[in-house]
């Protein structure tokens, strides 16, 4: 993120000049009393807010708090223009006189994230702006300052006609303001109580001074309605401006405190994780340290190339969940975990990394734990699938036997009994029937042979992978080129897995991929057997869909191997298997 340094310096110079200007306007204002005090407070508020605001703006460019504080400062200067003797400047000041309160409401409800998080917040802020801009203007065009008891005020150039409507609208404006301020104080209080302890400590000064300001403002507004003596009104407005002037200090203090509590959070984090506390304790500690109760920890499992949670269940972080950000934590240059935290913490990613680094050792240990749990979960699932696949296979076998060879043998039995009955009486018909029976027997034998090969190919046992794969290739309806096969025999479990990988890939190429050509290679390299079957078909295959590939994956995984499928739509399919082989 770039830091808008230049424009900020420009704004600071502008605020300085405008501060001097408004100071002179107030001190020379002909229609007000206590000008010295007001001039001083105007400077304190205007410079206090613009100065602090621009500082925060520079330090946290992504956060709206800086710009909002600066806006409060400038609306303080705007308000002071109402002291002017010049009719135009006076009018501008009078129109913008109460805008500062709406911006203050906006600022306090946005603290500390800089965003209005809830619908209620946005509603309150909208009401504030409506009340201080629209109603203010509407009332002003019907108010003649001279007839409102300010004989020394300059003329109102926007005056349409002096009307009772001005009074009615001003009274409504006051009622709305009092209700709004009450609601804002309640929201602030609830927010302060609802945060984590460290958040609460950072919020406390801002919430306290902010609420005090609004309570004083409410009192002043109610007093204005009650038409109290000018002395009481003066004291109340001094108190009001005084507490507004204190607000920037409260914001600074809040920011300072949040920095101190970061340091404390890290030391408490280190203390907590040192003491153990079992699964999930680290997550709790991190959530407390970073002030994000919804924080999650995702552990990186290099074998699976994926993240898992504390229970070893897979977690998808690409993309991260709605409104969340994942910050990767490394230990000794290797990815260990990711902290999944609220997007509000984005501009404090450094802090997340710092806290993560402090916890990296523990994260590494918990990662191993989570990895183990992930492995157990996967093993349980694959064990279930293997049992299920075995059951499925036996069922299919029974059905194939029943529908195929068994039916043919039954028919053969009937034929032979018929031959026995016919042979004496009608030898010609019997011979014809014997021919049909022999054909039936041939078919039954072929079906049995095919079935037996599906269970375990004898050629593989007797003559090895090369002969078995060439046999598969010659029976494939799609032309197959066998590029390479190992010369030496491999352990039978590995030969069998390789054979079925090739068989499944060839079946899929012919049945689904509409391929024209397939190449097969089986290479032994660096203690692994690498199988690769690629076709030029339509692609789009997926391990998750199709029990054949899933079953192969389990078969390969049972030998500590890995099965990979690359099958983008329109780009053919490549099935690769790597199986460790002593």
Partner 1 sequence: MAKTVLIVDDHPSFRASARRMLEADGYEVVGEAEDGGAALVAAQQLRPELVLLDVRLPDVDGFEVAKRLLDASGPAPQIVLISSHDSADLGEAVGASGARGFVPKSELSAEAIALLIR
405 contacts partner 1 (rule: CB under 8 A): no
Min CB(441)–partner 1 separation in Å: 11
Q: Which of residues 555-574 bind partner 1 (CB under 8 A)?
A: none
225 or 429: CB nearest partner 1:
429
Question: Among 45-53, 213-221, 222-230, 412-420, which window interacts with partner 1 (CB under 8 A)?
Answer: 412-420
In the set 141, 220, 411, 558, which binds partner 1 (CB under 8 A)? 411
443 contacts partner 1 (rule: CB under 8 A): yes
Window 263-302: contact mask with partner 1 (x via CB under 8 A): ----------------------------------------
Window 8-47: contact mask with partner 1 (x via CB under 8 A): ----------------------------------------
Min CB(512)–partner 1 separation in Å: 24
397 or 410: CB nearest partner 1:
410
Min CB(477)–partner 1 separation in Å: 24
Q: What is the dihedral of CA 491, 493, 496, 502, to 10 degrees?
A: -90
407 contacts partner 1 (rule: CB under 8 A): yes
Phi, psi of 524 (to 5 degrees): -100, 125
In the set 418, 423, 448, 558, which binds partner 1 (CB under 8 A)? 418
Beta bridge mates, 339: 297, 327
400 contacts partner 1 (rule: CB under 8 A): no
18 or 433: CB nearest partner 1:
433
Q: What is d(CA 357, CA 369) in angstroms, rounded to the nearest whole number? A: 19
Question: Among 86-94, 283-291, 298-306, 417-425, which window interacts with partner 1 (CB under 8 A)?
Answer: 417-425
Q: What is d(CA 219, CA 225) in angstroms, rounded to the nearest whole number? A: 10
410 contacts partner 1 (rule: CB under 8 A): yes
Q: Who's near 108: CB < 8 A, 6+ residues apart? A: 184, 188, 206, 207, 210
Size of the site for partner 1 (CB under 8 A): 18
Question: Among 36-44, 261-269, 292-300, 399-407, which window interacts with partner 1 (CB under 8 A)?
Answer: 399-407
Structure tokens at 382: 């694959």
32 or 406: CB nearest partner 1:
406
Q: Who's near 168: CB < 8 A, 6+ residues apart? A: none
SS3 state at 399: helix
In the set 440, 447, 532, 554, which binds partner 1 (CB under 8 A)? 440
Min CB(511)–partner 1 separation in Å: 21
Beta bridge mates, 574: 534, 566
306 contacts partner 1 (rule: CB under 8 A): no
SS3 state at 425: coil
Q: Which of residues 493-552 bind partner 1 (CB under 8 A)?
A: none
394 contacts partner 1 (rule: CB under 8 A): no
34 or 402: CB nearest partner 1:
402
The Cβ of residue 442 has, within 10 Å, a number of other Cβ atoms equal to: 11
Question: Among 181-189, 286-294, 304-312, 410-418, which window interacts with partner 1 (CB under 8 A)?
Answer: 410-418
Phi, psi of 411 (to 5 degrees): -60, -40
Residue 117 backbone zone (phi > 0: left; psi -120 to 50: alpha; other: beta): alpha
Min CB(576)–partner 1 separation in Å: 39
Residue 497 backbone zone (phi > 0: left; psi -120 to 50: alpha; other: beta): alpha
Tell me how far apart the 2 most distant CA atoms of the chain are, in Å. Answer: 143
127 contacts partner 1 (rule: CB under 8 A): no
187 or 411: CB nearest partner 1:
411
Instruction: Give the CA angle between residues 564, 569, 572 to the nearest 5°.
Output: 60
403 or 450: CB nearest partner 1:
403
B/e letters for 77-87, b = 16+ CB within 10 Å, e = fewer, are: bbbbbbbbeee
Beta bridge mates, 535: 518, 573
59 or 417: CB nearest partner 1:
417
The Cβ of residue 516 has, within 10 Å, a number of other Cβ atoms equal to: 11
In the set 415, 476, 496, 553, which binds partner 1 (CB under 8 A)? 415
328 contacts partner 1 (rule: CB under 8 A): no
Pairing of strands 334-342, 324-331: antiparallel
* Short-list 201, 544, 171, 179, CA closest to 381: 544
Beta bridge mates, 258: none
Are 339 and 352 spatial neighbours (Cβ–Cβ below 8 Å)?
Answer: yes
Q: Check residue 151 and report its DSSP letter.
A: T
Q: Which of residues 179-218 bind partner 1 (CB under 8 A)?
A: none
311 contacts partner 1 (rule: CB under 8 A): no
Indicate the helix (H) or strand (E) that contains 208: helix 197-226
408 contacts partner 1 (rule: CB under 8 A): yes
Q: What is d(CA 115, CA 131) in angstroms, rounded to the nearest whole number? A: 21
Min CB(439)–partner 1 separation in Å: 9
Min CB(561)–partner 1 separation in Å: 39
Question: Residue with structure tokens 């680094």?
Answer: 357
Min CB(507)–partner 1 separation in Å: 23
417 contacts partner 1 (rule: CB under 8 A): yes
B/e letters for 264-276, b = 16+ CB within 10 Å, e = fewer, are: ebbeebbebbeee
Min CB(429)–partner 1 separation in Å: 8
447 contacts partner 1 (rule: CB under 8 A): no
Q: Binding residues for partner 1, per CB under 8 A?
A: 402-403, 406-408, 410-415, 417-418, 421-422, 433, 440, 443
């Amino acid at each position: 993120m770039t830091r808008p340094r230049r424009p900020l310096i420009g704004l600071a110079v502008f605020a300085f000049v405008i501060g001097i200007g408004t100071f002179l306007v107030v001190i020379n204002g002909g229609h007000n009393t206590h000008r010295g005090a007001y001039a001083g407070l105007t400077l304190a508020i205007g410079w206090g807010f613009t100065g602090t605001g621009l500082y925060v703006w520079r330090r946290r460019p992504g956060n709206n708090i800086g710009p909002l504080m600066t806006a409060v400062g400038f609306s303080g200067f705007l308000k002071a223009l109402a002291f002017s003797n010049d009719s135009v400047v006076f009018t501008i000041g009078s129109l913008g006189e109460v805008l500062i309160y709406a911006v203050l409401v906006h600022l306090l409800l946005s603290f500390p994230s800089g965003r209005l998080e809830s619908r209620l917040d946005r509603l309150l802020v909208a009401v504030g702006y409506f009340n201080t801009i629209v109603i203010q203007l509407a009332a002003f065009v019907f108010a003649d300052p001279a007839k409102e008891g300010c004989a020394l005020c300059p003329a109102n150039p926007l005056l349409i006609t002096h009307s009772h409507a001005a009074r009615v609208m001003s009274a409504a404006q006051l009622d709305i303001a009092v209700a709004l301020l009450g609601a804002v104080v309640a929201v602030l209080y609830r927010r302060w109580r609802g945060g984590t302890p460290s958040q609460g400590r950072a919020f406390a000064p801002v919430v306290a001074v902010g609420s005090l300001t609004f309570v004083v403002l409410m009192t002043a507004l109610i007093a204005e309605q009650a038409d109290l003596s000018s002395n009481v009104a003066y004291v109340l407005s001094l108190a009001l401006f005084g507490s507004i002037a204190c607000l920037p200090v409260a914001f600074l203090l809040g920011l300072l405190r949040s920095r101190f509590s970061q340091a404390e959070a890290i030391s408490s984090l280190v203390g907590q994780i040192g003491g153990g506390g079992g699964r999930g304790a680290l997550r709790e500690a991190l959530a407390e340290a970073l002030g994000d109760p919804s924080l999650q920890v995702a552990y990186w499992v290099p074998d699976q190339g994926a993240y898992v949670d504390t229970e070893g269940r897979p977690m998808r972080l690409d993309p991260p969940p709605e409104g969340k950000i994942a910050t990767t934590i490394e230990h000794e240059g290797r990815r260990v975990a990711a902290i999944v935290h609220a997007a509000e913490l984005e501009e404090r990613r450094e802090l997340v990394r710092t806290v993560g680094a402090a916890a990296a050792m523990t994260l590494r240990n918990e990662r191993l734990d989570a990895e183990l749990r992930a492995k157990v979960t996967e093993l349980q699932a694959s064990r279930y699938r293997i049992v299920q696949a075995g059951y499925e296979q036996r069922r299919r076998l029974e059905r194939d036997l029943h529908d195929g060879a068994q039916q043919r043998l039954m028919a053969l039995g009937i034929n032979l009994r018929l031959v026995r009955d016919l042979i004496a009486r009608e030898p010609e018909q019997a011979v014809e029937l014997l021919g049909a029976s022999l054909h039936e027997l041939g078919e039954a034998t072929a079906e049995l042979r095919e079935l037996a090969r599906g269970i375990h190919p004898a050629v593989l046992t007797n003559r090895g992978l090369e002969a078995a794969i060439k046999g598969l290739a010659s029976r494939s309806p799609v032309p197959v080129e066998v590029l390479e096969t190992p010369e030496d025999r491999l352990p039978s479990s590995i030969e069998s897995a390789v054979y079925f990988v090739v068989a499944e890939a060839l079946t899929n190429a012919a049945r689904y991929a509409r391929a024209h050509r397939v190449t097969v290679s089986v290479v032994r390299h660096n203690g692994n057997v690498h199988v690769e079957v690629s076709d030029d078909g339509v692609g789009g295959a997926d391990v998750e869909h199709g029990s054949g590939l899933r079953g192969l994956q389990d078969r390969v995984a049972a030998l500590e191997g890995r099965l990979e499928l690359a099958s983008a739509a329109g780009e053919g399919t490549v099935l690769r298997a790597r199986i460790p082989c002593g």
